[in-house]
Structure 1
Amino acid sequence: MKELIEAAKNEDNLEGLREIHPDLYQQLVEQGFFVKQSDNEIEKVRQRIDDVNYNEEEYYLIINSTMNCNFGCWYCYETHKKNSHISDASLQKIKKFIENTLEKNKKITKYTIQFFGGEPLLDYKKSVLPIMDYAFKKAQQRGIILLLNFTTNGYLISDDMIQDFLKYKVNGFQITLDGNRDEHDKVRFVSKTKGSYDKIVENIKKIVRNKMSVVLRINYTEKNLKELDLVFEDLEDLELEYRSLITFSLNKVWQESNNNLGEKVSTFLSLATNKGFSLPDALLSDRVENSCYADKFNQATINYDGNVYKCNARDFTDENKEGILNDEGVVEWNEKRTFRMEHKLKNKACLECRILPICGRGCSQNMIEHVDKDYCVNDFDEAKKDDIILSMFLSENVEKI
């Protein structure tokens, strides 16, 4: 088939392909591989980006309950602040915000709240638990889907918390390990003589045994990739029926300079699947259909101090602030949010790229940081683009779309 398509392309004779293999030709037309010369493909991508990012049926709220943390990882981009927490007044404003977004957006059918930080569980009883309870009751009243999830280091999770998580139907966690026990405990430790690895791993097991999912994020470097497979030994006692609830996600620490670690990462991920664990679906690489939450109009990141952001992968400074939550529980957005939502598909390199319909120029934060500069979220690497396409093609879920 590949030879047929390449021959038709090289000879500029697509009609000839229709005569030789009409079914294949029709599939390529229906799936958008063959398009009319008159079609404005850029405009179609732009329209699809708007359709996804201005979806009125969903809202995505991130709440930073604190900027404090019980660990001090060397690579963390955030500035941790002691004694930072949601005040009683801010708690009421957040509750009003949840009520307001539900009342003003009658089309909403799904509301997601992600607790972030800092370490959100440091302020669990005072802020996180009341917000979960309030949002859960509001969602029940409206008859909508409420998704509650946490980005946490997992160390502070207790049996009582797990009972709360079950009560409010918490659906997911992202928890990080920094390699095997020895490597992790060099980064995340309670004291010079007490690490955190064993307790975190045990908490992960408790979560999945209660049928809640965990994205197990491994922040890797060249050093901690060595003997990373020892992690599997520490999960060996986990029953097979629960292993699929753990999704391994490997992410290179941004300070790591070695860009040739892909083979080691692939070997580890293959071993993970062989042992019954899950991997992120390659179809998520379609950043148009699965755009970042910060790209969406119906999204806000509310900091403990009432400042509002879109992206939570950058430091929460006044410079990055895109709004403020007022006393009425309404976000007063500034011009940065308007620029983020309206300034799209301006990059020349993106407009000429063959995978624009699945990349969409990357996330809006990348776009903001490269205004008037040519950039590529795939580093202008054609082989990397090929890998994205092939991985999506081979996805087990590709036939479901």
Structure 2
Amino acid sequence: MNAKIEGGYDHNRRKLSDIVPIEAPFSVFIAATQKCNFKCFYCTHSQKEKGDIDLNTVHMDNSLLEKIVQQLKEFPSVGRILFTGLGEPLANPNIPNMIRTLKKAGITDRFEIVTNASLLTHEMTDKLLDAGLTYLRVSLQGLSSEKYLQIAGVKVNFDMLMEQISYFYNKKRNCKLYVKIMDACLDSDEDTQRFYDLFGNISDQVFVEHIVKAQPQMLEKYNENVTSEKTFFNEPAEIRQVCPFAFYTLQIDAEGNVFPCPPLGMPKSFSLGNVNDTSLHDIWYGKKLYDLQMQHLNLKRCMHSVCGQCENYLCFTPAEDNLDLEREKIIHRLEQRGHV
């Protein structure tokens, strides 16, 4: 097997408590679309089909992307752009041009996509690589067409899916390919080994992730297979008082609403603002985010109407991101910087 068995995150992390508050978000999550061709049981889209959740299924339009690009240029630099969100990025046929536009603006040199790969045609692969994609994360929902129907509620030709992934791997140049599957999509140890056998030679990284409570809107819908005892990457989840996401990430949905963290399906009331009304620079340095960060640092996260119910911070708890032990120092630095 050529691929490394390792979780798909940056393993060369700086100690976050040493550098916050940072002058620009390290990770910016952009939803190219809120449309998805899958209806996975653990995702908000499965509930939309039942009419339980209100979700405006739209693509991000070009004019909105241009605003985001111009606003991101106000920062010195951004660590990476991640196309993900409550939708399948490749469902937006403009996704290669979105990457190209961001790359041309010189905002970052890291562009990533999280995809189910069902729309990863040869033509799409060629366009993504030509545009400058640097990391593709493929989320599998099973190892057979039958399993896809059970998990994702759609018919997928699994052999064709494998061929599309193999084509990407053989064409990928300097782009990295990460293929992952959740433990809930596998039925046995034999399935796990089959996953490694199938994808170990057509990817750079492979991993079996743990299914976690990643979407706050779904908390009451999850079954007993979805727990917060382990992280995405099957490591013991550590209880933290301060959620680190609000100190280094921003999420922008397809309508321009900006959120302080990557969990999907956040209520609009939790938005820090909209790029149509407020610049990303003013949001990042603004009072709403400042107050939220201070609430966490002052150990009052549990009192927040959204953060107090969210378990997403348990999905990923590397030691480098632990802010609990340096709270007082961070509060002092944050007070010195202030807000706009």
Instruction: State which of 116, 123, 131 in structure 2 corresponds to 1:160.
Output: 123
Residues 261-280 of structure 1: matches in 2 within 5 Å?
none
The equivalent of 1:171 in structure 2 is: 134
**Structure 2 CA distance for aligned equivalents of residues 195 and 219 of structure 1:** 17
The equivalent of 2:150 in structure 1 is: 186
- Relative distance call for 1:86 and 1:237 in structure 2 (3 A) is closer
**1:62, distance to aligned residue in structure 2 (A):** 1.5
**Structure 2 CA distance for aligned equivalents of residues 308 and 260 of structure 1:** 27
1:341 aligns with 2:293: yes
1:117 aligns with 2:86: yes
**Structure 2 CA distance for aligned equivalents of residues 202 and 132 of structure 1:** 24
- Relative distance call for 1:120 and 1:260 in structure 2 (3 A) is closer
The equivalent of 1:149 in structure 2 is: 112
8 Å Cα contact 1:62/1:113 also seen in 2:
yes
- Relative distance call for 1:49 and 1:124 in structure 2 (3 A) is same
> For each residue in 1:71-105, what CA deviation from the matched residue of structure 2 results, as whole angstroms up to 9, or x when unmatched?
11122135654751223xxx223323323332x33
Larger relative contact order (CA 8 Å, sep ≥ 6): 2
SS at match of 2:250: strand
8 Å Cα contact 1:309/1:321 also seen in 2:
yes
**Structure 1 CA distance for aligned equivalents of residues 255 and 78 of structure 2:** 28
**Structure 1 CA distance for aligned equivalents of residues 177 and 302 of structure 2:** 26
**Structure 2 CA distance for aligned equivalents of residues 306 and 260 of structure 1:** 31
> For each residue in 1:199-248, what CA deviation from the matched residue of structure 2 results, as whole angstroms up to 9, or x when unmatched?
33333333333253343332333xx44235336446646674x54x1231
**Structure 2 CA distance for aligned equivalents of residues 138 and 92 of structure 1:** 15
Q: Which residue identity does 1:344 align to in structure 2?
A: H
- Name whichever structure is richer in helix by fraction: 1
8 Å Cα contact 2:28/2:78 also seen in 1:
no
**1:67, distance to aligned residue in structure 2 (A):** 1.5
Q: Which residue identity does 2:258 align to in structure 1?
A: V
Q: Which residue identity does 2:178 align to in structure 1?
A: V
Instruction: State which of 316, 325, 329 in structure 1 corresponds to 2:275.
Output: 325
**Structure 1 CA distance for aligned equivalents of residues 267 and 228 of structure 2:** 33
**1:111, distance to aligned residue in structure 2 (A):** 4.1
**Structure 1 unpaired stretches of 5+:** 1-47, 266-278, 349-363, 379-384, 390-401
Q: Which residue identity does 2:160 align to in structure 1?
A: K
**Structure 2 CA distance for aligned equivalents of residues 178 and 138 of structure 1:** 35
Q: Which residue identity does 1:75 align to in structure 2?
A: Y
SS at match of 1:160: helix
1:246 aligns with 2:205: yes
The equivalent of 2:64 in structure 1 is: 93
Residues 174-323 of structure 1: matches in 2 within 5 Å?
174-181=137-144, 182-190=146-154, 194-209=155-170, 210=172, 212-221=175-184, 224-227=185-188, 229-230=190-191, 232-233=193-194, 236=197, 240=201, 242-243=202-203, 245-252=204-211, 254=213, 255-257=222-224, 291-292=244-245, 294-296=246-248, 299-323=249-273
The equivalent of 1:21 in structure 2 is: none
**1:309, distance to aligned residue in structure 2 (A):** 1.5
- Relative distance call for 1:169 and 1:343 in structure 2 (3 A) is same
- Relative distance call for 1:227 and 1:239 in structure 2 (3 A) is closer
**1:156, distance to aligned residue in structure 2 (A):** 0.4
**Structure 2 CA distance for aligned equivalents of residues 174 and 325 of structure 1:** 27
SS at match of 1:131: helix
**Structure 1 CA distance for aligned equivalents of residues 280 and 169 of structure 2:** 36
Q: Which residue identity does 2:102 align to in structure 1?
A: A
- Relative distance call for 1:345 and 1:52 in structure 2 (3 A) is same
The equivalent of 1:34 in structure 2 is: none
Q: TM-score, normalised by structure 2?
A: 0.65
- Relative distance call for 1:258 and 1:160 in structure 2 (3 A) is closer
Q: Which residue identity does 1:184 align to in structure 2?
A: Y
SS at match of 2:188: coil
**Structure 2 unpaired stretches of 5+:** 1-14, 49-54, 214-221, 320-340
**Structure 2 CA distance for aligned equivalents of residues 312 and 51 of structure 1:** 22
Number of positions where the alignment pairs a residue of Structure 1 with one of Structure 2: 280
**1:68, distance to aligned residue in structure 2 (A):** 1.5
**1:149, distance to aligned residue in structure 2 (A):** 0.8
8 Å Cα contact 2:26/2:80 also seen in 1:
yes
